[in-house]
Structure formats: structure tokens, C-alpha cells
Amino acid sequence: MMGARHPSCDAVDAALAAADVPGRVRILPDAAPTAQAAADQLGCPVGAIANSLIFTTGDGEPLLIMTSGAHRVDTALLGQALGTTVKRASADAARQATGQPIGGVAPVAHPAPLRTLVDRDLAAYDELWAAGGIPHAVFPISFDDLVRITSGTVVSVA
């Protein structure tokens, strides 16, 4: 897993190191803009891919949802649980909230902390893989560390 480094990857590595998370960003040979593409390159179940998806609430608040690559986020279910509407953010809104491109959004290293929900289904995997700041980058992390570093709330998202 070789390739050129990117400043976003370095920022993610710095955030992981500061949080005492052992995993570090790895560059994949090919872009992994989807959970299946990442799982295929890593040789892991698609459910072990922790997708970082940006949504917005009814009042425009950005919301980071860490979801298993095995399913889609149910925005109606989440909206009901949160007491607001929830919709997928545009690519521009996602980049503004995270400083990272869609397909490579990491759970950390954003310009400001984001309210985060973590899919409880991710707890089924000993090792998760999350995006490392660009579509070619990923890093390994445990469920407990993912919840800890994002200050996430564990919920059912599907």
C-alpha cells in the first residue's frame, strides 16, 4: 500500500496519535470512494468499513454519521430519533464541515468538532477501517476508539 502522502492524511495521523489510537493512515493502490471498493482492496467484510457520511439537520447543523458499509442510513429513523429532519449534505457542505472530500472524509481532523452518531452495527467487528482524509486513504480502528475519538453517540442508523 504505497502512494503519495497528502496533508489531509498527515492531519488524520496527527489526530490519531494525539488520541492514542494505534492505527495510522495507509494509502491504497486505487481510490476507494465506496465501502465495497475499500473492502475489496483491504480483504475485509464490507460491514467493517466505517463510512463517514455528512448530513445536515433541519436547522443546517452538520452531522457526521459513522455507518457500517453494509447498509444505508435511514434518514427518517434518525430524524425521528433526533427530533429534526436529516438529509444528506451536498459535496460542498461536506467539504466545508470537514475540510475533506466526499469519499475520503475521516472521522477526525476537521476544522471544528462535529456532532457525531456512530452506527451500533459497527460494534460487531474487531477491526474497522475508516477513511483517512482522501479517497485513497484508510486507517484501522476499534469500535471503542472510534466512539471515543469522535465523542460519538452510539445509535441504530438503519
pLDDT averaged per 10 residues in sequence order, the chain, 158 residues: 73 97 95 90 97 95 96 94 94 96 94 97 98 95 98 95
For the record, the C-alpha cell of 144 comes out as: 471503542
pLDDT value of residue 32: 87
Residues 67, 140, 147: CA angle, nearest 5 degrees: 50
CA atoms within 13 A on the CB side of 59: 4
In the chain, where are the structural domains located? 7-155
The class (CATH top level) of 7-155 is alpha beta
| Burial of 75: CB neighbours in 10 Å, binned 0-12, 13-18, 19+ | middle
